[in-house]
Amino acid sequence: MRARACAPGGANASWLDLRACDRAVRGRRDCAQGIGTSWPDSKATLERLRSELELSLDKLVTREKFLNDQFDTLMSQYRAVRGQMQGVQVGVAVGF
């Protein structure tokens, strides 16, 4: 587009378009090479992060199970005490 603005027609426009196209192709090729060279390092880093995240998730799941077990035990004890309290309140209300 810019090349056409500089040379609005004829053989010069074609030559400038080809130059711009060649620059774009080289830029894309350089980008692809850059990705190709950085991919192994990035892949290794991503794999390490994935394994660390899996380990953290496993620790969280284990902790959650532990807390849920404790909660279930405490909730059972609470329900038992609450039942006893209700029995005492009924006995007090009736007058023993």
Quote the CA–CA distance of 93 and 51 in Å, as a whole number: 62
For 74-86, how does the pLDDT look when each residue is reduced to its tens digit (9 = 90+)?
999 999 999 999 8
For 7-46, how does the pLDDT look when each residue is reduced to its tens digit (9 = 90+)?
445 455 577 788 888 888 899 998 888 888 888 888 899 9
Quote the CA–CA distance of 82 and 85 in Å, as a whole number: 5
For 47-81, how does the pLDDT look when each residue is reduced to its tens digit (9 = 90+)?
999 999 999 999 999 999 999 999 999 999 999 99
Quote the CA–CA distance of 12 and 4 in Å, as a whole number: 9
Q: Which amino acid is at 61?
A: V
- Residue 13 is encoded by which pair of tokens? 């426009």
Domain ranges of the chain: 2-94
User: Is pTM beyond 0.75 here?
Assistant: no
User: What end-to-end distance do the CA atoms of the chain give, in Å?
Assistant: 99
